[in-house]
A and B are shown apart, each in its own frame.
Chain A
Amino acid sequence: MNPLFAFQLRRVGRNRQFLFFTVLMPALFTVFFTKVFGGFAGDAADRQAYATTYMVSMMAYGALGAALGATIRVSFDRASGWLRQLRITPVPTSSVVAVDVAVGMLLTLPGLVVVAAVGRFVNGVDLPPLTWAALVAVLWLGSGAFVALGLLVGHALDEKAAGGAIGILGTILAALGGLWVPVQLFPEALRAVAHTLPSYWYAELGRDVAAGGAPAPLAVLALAGFAAAFALLAAAVAQRRALHAVAG
C-alpha cells in the first residue's frame, strides 16, 4: 500500500467522531426512523417501501458525510503547515491529491455497507442480491461528487470555518436534499430548492437502483455536473493557494 495512503487512513481512523457521525449515526437513524414512522404504514408493502427509501436516504447521508469529513480535513493540514512540509519531501503533489481523493472514496464505504446491512438485517429490506450490489456500487461512485466538494471547501476555507463546515454542510445537504424528510412532504418552494442540490440527485440514483431499474439519466447528468464543477473549482482554488502559500 502507498505509504502516504496508509498514513492518512490511520489518521482519520483515529478520529472517533468521524466514525460516529458517518457510520454509527446513520445506522441508528435507519433503525429509529424506520421503526417510528414505519409504524404508520398501512400494510407490509408500504412498510417495505418506506424502509427501503429511508435506508437509501441514510446510505446517502452517511456517505456524503464521510466524503466531506474525510476531505475537508485538508484545511487542517494546510493550517498546521503539514501540506507545505509535504511539498518539500520527494512525494509528488499529484500523489498527495490522489491520496486525498482515494481516502475520501474509501471512507464512504463503511457507512454505505453498514447502513445497507442494518436495512437488510434489522429492518428487513428485501432486494435481489444484484440490486444490493448495484445500490452500494452506484452510491459509492456517486460519492465522488462529495469528495470533490469536500476538497473544494477544504482548500477554500480556513481551519475554523472548515471545521464548522463539515457539520453544517452535511446537515444542509441532508435536510434540504430530502435525506431526512422525503421531498414529497416538502412545500413546493422547498422542493424546488432540493432539486438544486447534489444530495437530492445522489439519493435519486439510489432510489432508482433500489426500485430495480437503472438510474435516471437526468440524475446521473446532474450529479456528474456537480462533481465536475466541484472538482474544477477545487483544482483552481488549490492552485491559487499554492501561489499564496508563503507570505514571508
Chain B
Amino acid sequence: MPRETALELESLTVRYGGTVAVDGLDLRLRRGETVALLGPNGAGKSTVVNAVLGLVPSSGRISVLGRDPREAVRAGCVGAMLQHGGLPGEARVGEVLALVRRSFGRAGRAIAWPLDDLVATAGIDGLLDRPVEALSGGQRQRVLLAVALAGEPPLLLLDEPTSAMDVAGRRAFWTTMRALADRGTTVVFATHHLEEADAVADRVVVVAGGRVVADGPAAAVKAGIGGRTVAFTAAPGTPLHDLPGTTALDRAGDRVVLSTDDVEATLQALLARGTRLADLEVHGASLEDAVLSLTATRTTTGATR
C-alpha cells in the first residue's frame, strides 16, 4: 500500500569522488514509524539523510511520500535537522521562524500549527526576540528543531539532533519526538547514541559500510547477536582454556571476561572444575555489542570484497 510508505530507498548509491559512501542501500519505512539509523562514524548515515533531502546526487530510487527528494522538499513534506545545518547571522530567531513558516505556507502546506504551539513544542519560549548569535549550543539546536518542525512535515529527518544538548535537553527532546510520532509523524534519526536508539526507536536500522546490516526492533537486533558475557574475578593462573561455548577470553588483572554463546554450558564447566567465581556477572548483549559486532563483520567482509 503506497500510502502507508513514508520513505522508500531502492539500491541507493552515493559516491564522493572515488569513495562509495552509500552502497546499494534498500530501506522502506512505514508512516508513523520512529526509526534510528545507527552506525559508526563514516557508516553512511548522514549521507543517506542528505540524499533523501536531495542535497547530494545519488543513484537508485528515492521516494519520499511518493515524490522525488527535490519535489518533496518543495512541497514541504520533509523537515530536517542537519548535522551541518545552521542559522543565519544578523537575524533574530523570530524572523528566521517567520520566514520558514511562510515558505511552507507558500508551498501549500497550511500552517495549521499556531506559532505559540510550535514555540512550546520546540522549547524555545522567550527566544524569539533573541539574535541568533546570542544562543547557546542547546538553544541553537532547539531553534533548528523549530525550523524543521515549522511546516508540520509528515516526515522528519534528524541527523545527530541531540549532539549539542545536555542530559535534560535530550530527555525533553525525545519526549517531544515521541509525541510527534504519536501524532503520525514519521521520525528518522541518525545517531551513535545507542541508548537513544534503544529507548526511542520502534525500529533500529544498523548501517555499516553504506549498507543495512541489521534492521528490526532494538530487541531483535540485540537478540540477533545472541552472545553473552560471563565475568568474574579469578587468581592469575586459573585454568580457563577449553571451556564449552566460549568465543573469546579477556583478562585484565584478576578480572576475567568470557564471551560465550552458551552461558549455561560455560558456567557448568567452570563449576565442575571447581573454579571460584567471585563477583560473578552475566550480561546479555547490549545494543552497543550488537552494533559493534555487526559493523565489525561488515568491515571485514567489506575489506575482502
Contacts and interface: CB of A to CB of B under 8 A. Distances in A.
Interface of A: 3-4, 7, 10-12, 14-15, 76-77, 80-82, 84-85, 87-92, 243-248
A246 B88 contact: no
Nearest to A8: B88
B165 interface: no
A88 B16 contact: no
Interface in B76-108: 76, 78-80, 82-91, 95, 98-100, 102-104, 106-107
A1 to B, nearest CB: 11
A85 B79 CA distance: 10
Nearest to A77: B88
A15 B133 CA distance: 14
B55 interface: yes
Given A88-B73, A90-B151, 9 more contacts: A3-B102, A15-B90, A81-B86, A89-B100, A90-B73, A90-B104, A246-B46, A246-B50, A246-B55
A82 B99 CA distance: 13
B91 A7 contact: yes
B56 interface: yes
A90 B82 contact: no
B74 A246 contact: no
Question: Nearest 6 CB-CB pairs, A to B?
Answer: A81-B86, A90-B107, A248-B46, A80-B86, A82-B88, A11-B90
Interface of B: 16, 46-47, 50, 53, 55-57, 73-76, 78-80, 82-91, 95, 98-100, 102-104, 106-107, 109, 144, 147, 151, 159
Nearest to A91: B103
Given A90-B76, A247-B16, A84 B55 contact: yes
Contacts of B106: 90
| B55, B80, B147: most-surrounded residue (chain A CB, <10 A) | B55
Contacts, number: 93
18 contacts: A4-B103, A11-B90, A15-B90, A77-B88, A80-B89, A81-B86, A84-B86, A85-B82, A87-B53, A88-B53, A88-B55, A88-B78, A89-B100, A89-B103, A245-B56, A246-B46, A246-B47, A248-B47
Nearest to B80: A88
A14 B82 CA distance: 27
Contacts of B83: 248
A80 B88 contact: yes
Nearest to A85: B85
B244 to A, nearest CB: 45
B216 to A, nearest CB: 25
A85 B100 CA distance: 10
A206 to B, nearest CB: 31
A7 B144 CA distance: 17
A67 B255 CA distance: 70
Contacts of B91: 7, 10-11
Contacts of B88: 11, 77, 80, 82
Nearest to A243: B57
B262 to A, nearest CB: 41
A90 B103 contact: yes
Contacts of B89: 11, 76-77, 80
B56 A246 contact: yes
Given A76-B89, A80-B86, A87 B99 contact: no
A90 B53 CA distance: 11
A3 B56 contact: no
Given A15-B90, A90-B106, A90-B151, A246 B95 contact: no
A248 B104 contact: no
Contacts of A82: 85-88
Contacts of B98: 3
A77 B90 CA distance: 10
Contacts of A87: 53, 55, 73
| B78, B79, B91, B159: most-surrounded residue (chain A CB, <10 A) | B91
Contacts of A89: 73, 76, 100, 103-104, 147, 151
Contacts of A84: 55, 82, 84-86
A92 B78 contact: no
A85 B78 CA distance: 12
Contacts of A90: 73-76, 103-104, 106-107, 109, 151
A4 B79 CA distance: 19
B103 A85 contact: no
B48 to A, nearest CB: 11
